[in-house]
Amino acid sequence: MRTIAILNNKGGVGKTTSTVNIAAAMQILGKRVLVIDIDHQAQATYHFGLSAGDVKFTIFEALKGEVSFDDAKIDRNGIDILPSKNDLKDLDFLPFPAKEFLLKEVMEKVKGYDYVLIDCPPSLGILTLNALTYASEIIVPLQLEFLPFHGMYNLFEGVQMVKQRLNKGIEVTGIIGTMYNAAKSINREVLSETDERLPGKLYQTLVRENVALQEAPSWGKTIFEYKSDSNGAVDYMNLTKEIVAQG
Ligand SMILES: Nc1ncnc2c1ncn2[C@@H]1O[C@H](COP(=O)(O)OP(=O)(O)OP(=O)(O)O)[C@@H](O)[C@H]1O
Ligand SMILES: [Mg+2]
């Protein structure tokens, strides 16, 4: 079972879009997939078309130990989802000791998936630390522009800290270039800079800028359900094949 945190503390870089559509591509490839939404914005949950009415319990109740994993998870056409909702932000205020380990405890006995993907919030706070304490891999979606590239070093420092104090074995297994537009020279420049400074980390497949990827969440659909012939669907499928081939 590969457990992968989709992480970047910068906001709006394509974490949720990548989590949802990689999960969907994995399912198409015959893999058993669990998506954990550990962002209090609950955007992966919404992207999958789950509304408050569909969700009886969320990851928040599971982390607090009030319900089991099985009670909180939802089967959405064959992809299992541990959904989130807004009150997850209150985890910060709960008086539990060693709060970084709550997700790991919830997941202790969970088996039977090929892949667990965790959609992280845009911060390195307690929710993200829960993801990083449990996961064994990190995949970083990166918008190929100057500030996001710069911010990634910040992120790597945070990951180093996590390796030292919480999870020795965790590794960054790949970087996804998102919202790529070959006509933008900054995209091409940052692409070659990333290749140079972090050789081998960037997936060959770049996810191109694609309107269908922006539209799909409002229909509660993955890109494969919404427009299976779009560039977004093609790119996420090729990218997912690369991720699957890694191990
Ligand atoms: N390849 C793409 N082409 C065009 N738009 C995209 C692409 N990928 C993502 N987007 C859009 O960019 C916005 C941010 O994407 P997304 O929500 O996936 O980022 P995020 O990193 O999860 O954000 P947050 O940090 O707030 O959780 C969304 O409106 C999304 O539809
Ligand atoms: Mg998100």
pLDDT of 181 above 90: yes
Q: How confident is the model at residue 200, as a pLDDT?
A: 93
Q: CA–CA separation, 183 vs 76, rounded Å?
A: 38
Domains of the chain and CATH, by start: 2-245 (3.40.50.300)
Q: How confident is the model at residue 63, as a pLDDT?
A: 97
For the record, the structure tokens of 151 come out as 């911010």
Q: How confident is the model at residue 132, as a pLDDT?
A: 98
pLDDT tens column, 3-62: 999 999 999 999 999 999 999 999 999 999 999 999 999 999 999 999 878 899 999 999
* Residue whose CA lies nearest to ligand 1 atom number 11: 214
Q: How confident is the model at residue 172, as a pLDDT?
A: 96
Q: Which is it for the CA torsion 158, 25, 104, 246, positive or negative?
A: negative
Query: How far apart are the CA of 168 and the centre of ligand 2, in A?
Result: 26
Q: How confident is the model at residue 53, as a pLDDT?
A: 84
* Residue whose CA lies nearest to ligand 1 atom number 25: 11
Q: Cα 117 to the chain's mean position, in Å?
A: 6
Report the nearest atom of ligand 1 relative to the CA of 179.
1
Best mutation site among 17, 35, 124 for ligand 1, i.e. most ligand atoms within 8 A of its Cβ?
17
Q: For 26, phi and psi rounded to 5 degrees?
A: -60, -40
How would you classify residue 179: left for phi > 0, otherwise alpha for psi between -120 and 50, otherwise beta?
A: left
Q: Which of 104, 114, 50 is nearest to 81 (CA)?
A: 50
Query: How far apart are the CA of 164 and the centre of ligand 1, in A?
Result: 31
Q: How confident is the model at residue 44, as a pLDDT?
A: 98
Report the nearest atom of ligand 1 relative to the CA of 44.
22
Pocket (CB within 6 angstroms of ligand 1):
11-17, 39, 41, 43, 122, 178-179, 207, 209-210, 213-214
Which residues lie below 8 Å from residue 130, measured CB to CB, with a gap of 6+? 38, 63, 99, 100, 101, 102, 103, 104
Report the nearest atom of ligand 1 relative to the CA of 17.
18
Query: How far apart are the CA of 65 and the centre of ligand 2, in A?
Result: 25
Q: Is the pTM of this model over 0.95?
A: yes
pLDDT tens column, 68-119: 999 999 999 999 999 999 999 999 888 888 999 999 999 999 999 999 999 9
Best mutation site among 43, 155, 214, 221 for ligand 1, i.e. most ligand atoms within 8 A of its Cβ?
214
Query: How far apart are the CA of 150 and the centre of ligand 2, in A?
Result: 20
The DSSP code sequence of 115-133 is EEEEE--SSSSHHHHHHHH
Q: Which residues, chain by chain, have CB under 5 Å from ion ligand 2?
A: 15-16, 43
Q: Which of 6, 1, 33, 13 is nearest to 224 (CA)?
A: 33
pLDDT tens column, 107-158: 999 999 999 999 999 999 999 999 999 999 999 999 999 999 988 988 999 9
Q: How confident is the model at residue 52, as a pLDDT?
A: 78
